[in-house]
Amino acid sequence: MVKAQCGLGVLLTKRGNLEAAIEAYNAALRLNPDYSLAHCNLGLLLQRRGDAHGAEACFDQALQLDASNVDAQSNLGALKHERGDLEGATAAYRAALSHDPNHAKAHHNLAMLLKAQGDAAGCDRHLKKALKADPDYADAHCGVAQQLHAKGDTKGCVASCHKALTADPSHAASHGLLGLLCQARGDGDEAVASFQRAVEADPSHAGFQSHLGLALHLRGDLVGAEAHYTAALAADPTLGNVHSNLGGCLRARGDVKGAVASYRRALALEPTHAKVRLEVVDLVKYRAFCSERLRNDYHDFLFICAPA
């Protein structure tokens, strides 16, 4: 019965029904509170939902029940990495690999940490180990693609993205990277198509939503651009550049009030953003001729946008 509940959790996760999947794992744990795998899988879902504290508690409990649970060690490392605890993340990944030297996910996660620390050679080394352990591991192929992209090897980058997509046709990061490559070479239609596939695979990813918004914006689809900028900001409201892009989109649509509001938010997040400062002054100058209240807004913005 416990394994059946966990199987249901896996199925619901694949269908994108996270809340129902969480309940399935909770049901499994009510039947057997000592089932390490259920704690581990529940932790992953809580992490995806943004509950980092709950996720860490689940991973810790999984490891207390089974210290050799390498998935829990690797997942705990990823959570610590996300929080900026690179030392803790490294320790968790290496603990996982001490139990299983061929654990592809731990090698991949350690590779991404080394990349963040500027150790390109170490990143390449662990990506190779990840693919040796699992030649069909899409995340590792995408990691190789990112490394090749950073080195300027576009052909190799595209080839690795396609390997990732052969292993997992809905691999969002690979679709997103292909979108960036298409955009860089001026193929706007294919960029939009790639970003759309990335968004379909991971609709809560602010970066993919933002990139799709910009690609649509560049093609003149202002309605579509606004929708995806808004979705990106719903996922992460701290993206100053997206507030700025949304302001430009609203400005082009004739929504001066909405544009100024977006630029205000962009400036609040990035006060030295020169382009936004100029556009805000320009917009408020236009609005200042409309009414006394707007003239007051104009003087306020001249103060806000004055050089520090």
Nearest to 284 by CA among 247, 243, 249: 247
Nearest to 54 by CA among 45, 63, 64, 65: 45
Q: What is the pLDDT of residue 303?
A: 44
- Give the residue range(s) of CATH 1.25.40.10 domains in the chain: 1-99, 138-217, 237-308
* CATH superfamily of the domain spanning 138-217: Tetratricopeptide repeat domain (1.25.40.10)
DSSP output for 65-128: H-TT-HHHHHHHHHHHHHHT-HHHHHHHHHHHHHH-TT-HHHHHHHHHHHHHTT-HHHHHHHHH
Q: What is the pLDDT of residue 57?
A: 94
Please state, rounded to an integer, the average pLDDT across all residues of the chain.
88
- Fold classification of 237-308 (topology level): 1.25.40
CB 54 within 8 A of CB 34: no
Q: What is the pLDDT of residue 134?
A: 97
pTM: 0.79
Mean pLDDT by runs of 10 across the 308 residues of the chain is: 82 83 90 91 88 92 90 91 90 92 94 93 97 97 96 96 96 96 94 96 92 96 97 94 94 89 90 72 59 48 42
Which CATH number does the domain 1-99 belong to among 1.25.40.10, 3.40.630.10, 3.40.50.150, 3.40.50.920?
1.25.40.10
Tens of pLDDT, residue by residue over 273-288, are 767 766 766 666 655 5
Tens of pLDDT, residue by residue over 156-170, are 999 999 999 999 999
